[in-house]
């Protein structure tokens, strides 16, 4: 199956399942998240602070990739996806899935990248030697977008490469034993990848090329409208945990976050060191939900169209962002 056909099948699966299952009753909520992706809100997850503040039972369901989160929201199995990558969100909304970004979960240019096998001795000076190589990429994710942008920058013809769709944890093992030339991912899997290779560009170098890397809290538009107060309370708890972490609560929160993320303390600290958690005020600024995020969604979609990854982009992604729930949270 070609890359474009694979991505089209992801979009079709989402579109077909849209509306297939009604949202869960308001007394129960399922939230998607990633393991090996430590964030301050996992303190509230572990301590059941969300349940206390929202007054509902919350089921936390872990995923390997944001594309699966989109599908789960389309089917109604998941109501909120915490820390979904922007590219899988763009793929889904471009395929007419009615999702919205409601806050910026985390920015992490250093914690999402591609790694080249050390024995190849390929870096940014001779990156064109990647032509014809085998690479594992979780398609439709932030890592996939970053991979395409980097290869475009270096003039590597991705049509010559053997691209295998693999979730980061699944790609790390064969990369370690030399079965792959390059692999892309994030979080704990990325740390394991770096033990056997090198990145082409640092996070700062990627940002200089316009490769933004951040995740959002995303929701089904219909569910959000029907449960506006519940959603705003969820965002408020998340913001409170970020503030507690930034305000000196790091040491007390770290063991709890590490356990919830399925990581040891040192790995958790190392990962969190590369994360930025924007405040509500920052998120509501022009850089983020005040216009910057909408613009970036369109840029990602147009680039995917140019690469042949998706058929077409929406004329505008203004309607794919709704800051009203976060504004309401700021007043709670």
**Per-residue pLDDT at 140:** 84
Tens-place pLDDT, residues 133-146 = 999 999 888 899 99
pLDDT in tens, 285-300: 999 999 999 999 999 9
Q: Which residue bears the tokens 């933004």? A: 212
Tokens 């190849």 label which residue?
120
Question: In the structure encoding, which two tokens stand for residue 186, read together?
Answer: 């994030």
CB-based burial label for 262 (10 Å; 0-12, 13-18, 19+) = middle
What's the whole-number average pLDDT of the chain?
91
pLDDT at position 19 is 46
- CA separation (Å) from 22 to 13, 32, 79, 231, 278? 17, 17, 10, 17, 32
Q: In this structure, what are the phi and psi dihedrals at residue 308, rounded to the nearest 5 degrees?
A: 80, 15
**For 155-291, where are the alpha helices, taking DSSP H only?**
168-176, 187-194, 203-208, 221-226, 228-244, 250-261, 265-272, 280-283
Is it the case that residue 260 has pLDDT exceeding 70? Answer: yes
User: Residue 214 pLDDT more than 50?
Assistant: yes
pLDDT of res. 212: 85
* pLDDT tens-digit readout, 37-74: 999 999 999 999 999 999 999 999 999 889 999 999 99
Quick check: 67 and 88 in contact, CB under 8 A?
yes
Q: Which helix (H) or strand (E) holds 321?
A: none
Q: Which residues contact 63 (CB under 8 A, 6 or more apart)?
A: 32, 33, 34, 69, 72
- Proportion of the chain above pLDDT 90, given as a percent: 82
All domains in the chain, ordered by first residue: 3-108+213-330 (3.40.190.10), 114-208 (3.40.190.10)
State how far Cα 276 lies from the chain centre.
Answer: 14
**Torsion of Cα atoms, 60 then 66 then 67 then 68, to 10°:** -20
Average pLDDT over residues 2-15: 49
Structure tokens at 286: 């022009």
Lowest-confidence pick of 11-20, 85-94, 264-273? 11-20
Give the 3-state secondary structure of residue 167.
Answer: coil
pTM for the full predicted model: 0.84
Q: Which two tokens stand for residue 189?
A: 């899997």
Strands 99-107 and 112-117: unpaired
The larger pLDDT score, comparing residue 248 to residue 21, is at: 248
Whole-Å CA distances, 94 to 11, 22, 97, 162, 314: 8, 22, 7, 26, 6
Flag whether pLDDT at 20 surpasses 60: no
Higher pLDDT: 52 or 188? It is 52
Residues 6+ apart with CB under 8 A from 257: 38, 39, 40, 42, 43, 46, 268, 272
Q: What is the distance between the alpha carbons of residues 235 and 102, in angstroms, rounded to a whole number?
A: 9
| High-pLDDT (> 70) share of the chain, % | 92
């Amino acid at each position: 199956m070609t890359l474009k056909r694979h991505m089209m099948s992801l979009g079709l699966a989402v579109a077909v399942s849209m509306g297939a299952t009604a949202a869960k009753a308001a007394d129960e909520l399922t939230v998607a998240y990633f393991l090996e992706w430590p964030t301050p809100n996992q303190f509230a997850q572990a301590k059941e602070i969300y349940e206390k503040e929202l007054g509902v039972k919350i089921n936390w369901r872990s995923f390997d990739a944001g594309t699966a989160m989109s599908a789960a929201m389309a089917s109604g199995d998941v109501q909120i996806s915490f820390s979904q990558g922007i590219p899988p969100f763009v793929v889904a909304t471009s395929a007419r899935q009615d999702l919205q970004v409601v806050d910026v979960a985390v920015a992490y240019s250093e914690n999402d990248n591609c790694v080249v096998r050390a024995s190849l001795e390929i870096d940014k000076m001779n990156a064109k030697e990647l032509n014809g190589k085998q690479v594992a990429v979780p398609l439709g994710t932030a890592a996939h977008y970053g991979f395409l942008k980097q290869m475009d920058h270096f003039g590597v013809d991705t049509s010559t490469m053997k691209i295998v769709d693999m979730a980061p944890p699944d790609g790390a093992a064969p990369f370690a034993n030399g079965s792959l030339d390059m692999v892309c991912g994030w979080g704990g899997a990325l740390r394991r990848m770096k033990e056997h290779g090198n990145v082409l560009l640092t996070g700062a170098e990627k940002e200089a090329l316009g490769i933004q890397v951040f995740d959002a809290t995303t929701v089904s538009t219909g569910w959000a409208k029907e449960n506006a107060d519940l959603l705003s309370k969820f965002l408020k708890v998340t913001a409170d945990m970020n503030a507690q972490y930034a305000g000196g609560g790091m040491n007390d929160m770290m063991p709890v976050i590490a356990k919830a993320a399925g990581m040891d303390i040192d790995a958790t600290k190392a990962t969190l060191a590369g994360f930025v958690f924007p405040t509500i005020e920052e998120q509501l600024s022009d850089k983020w939900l005040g216009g910057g995020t909408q613009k970036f969604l369109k840029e990602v979609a147009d680039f995917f169209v140019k690469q042949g990854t998706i058929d077409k982009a929406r004329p505008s992604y203004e309607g794919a962002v709704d800051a009203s729930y976060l504004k309401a949270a700021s007043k709670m």
